[in-house]
Chains A and B, each alone.
Chain A
Amino acid sequence: MMSINPRLVEVRQNVLKQNDLLARRLRYRFREAGVYVISLVSSPGAGKTALLERLLTELRQSIRVAALVGDLATDNDAARLARSQAPVRQIVTGTVCHLEAAMVESALDGWSLEELDLLFIENVGNLVCPSSYDLGEDLRLVMMSVTEGEDKPLKYPTIFNTADVAVITKVDLAEAVEFDLAEAYQSIQRVRPGMRVFEVSSKTGDGMSGLIRFLTSQMVEGVKATAG
């Protein structure tokens, strides 16, 4: 079966080169347009859509904000987010468990990015696959809800490691589910030393102002850095 004389040739190619190239192009395009891009990743049901609805509703009072939302099969999330009255577009991924740069690019078709200050990209609920794909975002925000357990970061170290900031959601339920915040912080710091962590409740609004202040300051710095 084996060949008589196979030889080894060096090639050196990043398997995700295609995606990475596209992501780089997107990042350039976002910078040119002066729009800051934040992606959200979490497991299904951690509250990405609820958080995003809050963020869009509050942020659109002062800045021009929009969202792209990835979903496997429905447009329920986009319909929910439309209530915020910010522009929202749905990316239905079919059976694909993550967003790729190409999906983001085609979803942007016909949108004038120059009219935006901030764009959110909500990934498909999944803590594994999205970690490998750069979407051209400036900031990746990973979420975990108090109902998922304190050790989530230890179970999914890769996604926490590729993210820039962590948000613990549903803190209004923390007591009921006996969530140990100190332990959760410890888990996050173990897999990503120095990571910024926020605690919020999208239901009560607790912690939202701190998170919004942080995100907008990141946006201002990001845009300034580009302009400078």
Chain B
Amino acid sequence: MDSEKENSASSEIGNVSDKVLSVFITELASDPEYAEVASRLNDVVFNDKISEKSLRTALFDEDE
């Protein structure tokens, strides 16, 4: 029980952010035209460090 509490405390960091991002990715993926973009963005936006470069790569499937 204690460890569960501790986990929930750690995952509290940015929980609002994660919820917003989850909804955003789900809605983007629901449009077949943007499903692949959503999949690539999903691998990027939940990371702590997000750069413009990594977002461009995900959006346009550009080479790193």
Q: Do A and B come from one complex?
A: no
Chain B residues within CB distance 8 Å of chain A: none
